[in-house]
Copies of this chain bind each other. A is one copy, B any other.
């Protein structure tokens, strides 16, 4: 570790002294504990800024929407892992998080990226209807799905998306990214003739753009929120387990054709 000069190893997030813990410039004990809620502190941890009350309202709503989605593959993976290693609860949560990739949480990232790229370098007065039209046309030409639209269950409207857009509007955070997402949905329905409501991940992707979060970090909100949801699933699994039952059914069915051959 001697070669010089080297870029410094440097972090601006936190440091401690014997009497103080400082996170993002705030004294944890004096300025945070007892005065902030977890969602507001998450905003501080992630951005280095204190959320305004209106930002806090929207940000908490975003995160809450991502906590719990029922018996997802992620929850099943966490419960299966807990069955094998109940002494390593953290590893069961980790296993559940590992699957939050392109298929399930990725559509949120995809929506944020689509909106970000569509408006990158565009002037404030850009015609959003035209951008929506061009975006849909380009994706359809490539045969690509449009991120953030459609839901297998929530039809004709995803009630979470609707509510998130309301909350954003009530708090002055419904700007041109939200408008573009809505324009893209209208244009996609027009072009395909299919009902394609904006789903929760589409709404979250758009609102994340309003916050100015980089699209490649949007997935992180889903990851941290789902960690909470998974701990809830593991508390239930500890009380009333289902993993062993699922395992035995799957094992039994999966190899029946071999055993009976």
* A residues in contact (CB < 8 Å) with B: 1, 3, 6-23, 28-29, 32-34, 36-42, 45-46, 56-57, 60-61, 63-65, 67-74, 76-78, 80-105, 153-155, 157, 159-160, 162-164, 166-167, 170, 214, 216-217, 219-225, 227-236, 238, 240, 242-247, 249-255, 257-259
Contact B13 A38 (CB under 8 A): no
CB contact under 8 A between A101 and B97, given known A32-B64, A228-B42, A236-B13? no
User: Quick one: which of B73, B224, B236 contacts A228, CB cutoff 8 A?
Assistant: B224
Instruction: Give Cα A228–Cα B13 distance, bound, in whole angstroms.
Output: 13
Does B103 lie within 8 Å of A83, measured CB to CB? yes
- Given the complex, which residues of B lie within 8 Å of A231, measured CB to CB? 45-46, 217, 220-221, 223-224
Pick the contact of A15 from B70, B166, B230 — CB < 8 Å? Answer: B70
Given A33-B164, A57-B34, A76-B250, A70:B14 Cβ within 8 A: yes
Chain B residues lying within 8 Å of A166, measured Cβ to Cβ, are 34
**8 additional contacts, CB 8 Å, given A9-B242, A84-B99, A84-B104?**
A7-B242, A11-B70, A13-B70, A77-B77, A81-B99, A88-B88, A217-B234, A246-B250
Copy number in this complex? 4
CB-based contact A71/B223 at 8 Å = no
A179 to chain B, nearest CB (A): 20
Report yes or no: A15 in contact with B259, Cβ–Cβ below 8 A. yes
Q: Which of B20, B80, B217, B224 contacts A73 (CB under 8 A)? A: B80
Residues of B within 8 A of A38 (CB): 37-39, 42, 60, 63-64, 67, 225, 228
Chain B residue at minimum C-beta to C-beta distance from A78: B77
| Residue from B69, B85, B244, B259 in contact with A90 in the complex, judged by beta carbons closer than 8 Å | B85
**A72, B247: Cβ atoms under 8 Å?**
yes
In the complex the two chains form, is B89's CB within 8 Å of A91's CB? no
Q: Is B84 within 8 A of A18, CB to CB?
A: no
B contact residues around A170 at 8 Å (CB) = 34
